[in-house]
Amino acid sequence: MKIINKEVLSDIQGTKITELVVLAPEIAEKARPGQFVVLMASEKGERIPLTVVDVDKNKGSVTLIFQEVGLTTRSLGRLNSGDALYALAGPLGHPTEIKNYGEIILIAGGVGIAEIYPVAKALKGAGNQITIILGARTRGLLILEKELKSLSHEFFVTTDDGSYEKKGFVTDVLAELLAKNKYDLVYAVGPIPMMQKVSLLTKGLGVKTVVSLNPLMVDATGMCGSCRVSVGNEVKFSCVDGPEFDAGLIDWDELIKRNSVYLDKEKHICRLNNPS
């Protein structure tokens, strides 16, 4: 699990996004779009889930892209090329159902942009016509623009501060597109409020919508229950039943509450470990 390449993709306004290429031949061989790994940066650290953004079967490597948001992602960001992860397990979760749906809108916000890349590549490969909408707080935080643009038939970017392309939110563009055209699938990854808004828009119009959720995960093997989510009238565990679900069936308010359960403790531990 040696890191063979590290690149900081973005480091502005206190937000750092880093790409790591890690040697993991068995995961590289098996991982499919939509799946994730669970890693430990160090022996005493916690386990965190990260999406497999790309694989190179010849090199036996997997590419991970992460935003530093707390203790574990910060300690991961301190590792360099040549260092090794303490542990890496995967691929986990169900892969995305890749087939020819027809016309698809893929929407991603923040580091979710990294998460749609493998899905966009595979859906394009299956013959779909892809429209992509990316959202970032500001221009400098936009990642993989060139790569995703090259896969798309239509391509849009929104920035919260108007520093690049359209000022506003991905859902503004989505609403305009849905008013003009019929789409066969909408696929979204990003902050929960964004996915919830996407779901509200598409549910009203009856457009099939899939979201990849990011609930808290601890063991990621279906045993601890921390990634529980209510989908329709059923309780699902995101790590083994997901991470993708039908957006229109998700109990978003419950998910938001569950995801902030440990926020105070996470902030406290982070302060203890980074007193400056």
Q: Does 243 bind ligand FAD (CB under 6 A)?
A: yes
CA distance 128 to 134: 18
Q: Which amino acid is at 18?
A: T
Query: Smallest distance from the beta carbon of 109 to ligand FES, in angstroms?
Result: 23
Q: Does 259 bind ligand FAD (CB under 6 A)?
A: yes
Question: Which residues, including other chains, have CB under 8 Å from residue 150's CB and lie 6 or more apart?
Answer: none
Between 87 and 201, name the residue whose CB sits nearer to ligand FAD: 87
69 binds ligand FAD per the rule CB under 6 A? yes
Interface residue list for ligand FES (CB under 6 A): 217-220, 222-227, 237, 239
Q: Footprint of Mg ion on residues 69-88 (CB under 5 A)?
A: 70-72
Closest to 28 in 3D by CA, of 118, 105, 97: 118
Asked if 152 interacts with ligand FAD (CB under 6 A), we say: no
The contacts found for 216-224 with CB under 8 angstroms, 24 or more apart, are: 216/258, 216/259, 216/261, 216/262, 217/38, 217/47, 217/48, 217/49, 218/46, 218/47, 219/47, 220/36, 220/38, 220/47, 220/49, 220/89, 220/92, 221/92
With CB under 5 to 8 Å by kind, the binding choice for 69 among ligand FES, ligand FAD, Mg ion, none is ligand FAD
Q: Closer to ligand FAD by CB, 195 or 207: give it.
A: 195
Q: Looking at beta carbons only, is 84 or 256 nearer to ligand FAD?
A: 256
* In the complex, minimum distance from the CB of residue 220 to ligand FES, in angstroms, rounded to a whole number: 5
- Kindly provide the residue ranges of all beta strands, DSSP E only, lying in the chain, ordered along the sequence: 3-12, 15-23, 36-40, 48-51, 54-56, 61-67, 87-92, 103-109, 129-136, 154-159, 166-167, 185-189, 209-212, 228-231, 234-237, 244-246
Q: Is 217 in the site for ligand FAD (CB under 6 A)?
A: yes
Distances (CA, A) of 54 to 41, 57, 267: 19, 10, 31
Q: Is residue 70 within the footprint of ligand FAD (CB under 6 A)?
A: yes
Residue 222 C-beta: closest distance to ligand FES, Å: 5
User: Interacting stretch for ligand FAD, rule CB under 6 A, among 44-52, 83-91, 116-124, 177-185?
Assistant: 44-52
Residue 165 or 241 with smaller CB distance to ligand FES = 241
48 counts as binding ligand FAD under rule CB under 6 A: yes
Q: Which does 24 bind (CB under 5 to 8 A by kind): ligand FES, ligand FAD, Mg ion, none?
A: none
Specify the stretch interacting with Mg ion by CB under 5 A; choose among 23-31, 50-58, 65-73, 189-197: 65-73
Strand 234-237 with 228-231, pairing: antiparallel
CB of 158 to ligand FAD, least distance (A): 20
Part in contact with ligand FAD (CB under 6 A); list of ranges 63-71, 98-106, 149-157, 193-201: 63-71
Most distant CA pair in the chain, distance: 53
Please state, in angstroms and rounded to a whole number, the distance separating the CA atoms of residues 151 and 129: 9
Q: What is the DSSP-derived secondary structure letter of residue 140?
A: G
Contacting residues toward ligand FAD, per CB under 6 A = 36, 48-51, 65-67, 69-73, 111, 114-115, 214-217, 243, 259, 263, 266, 270
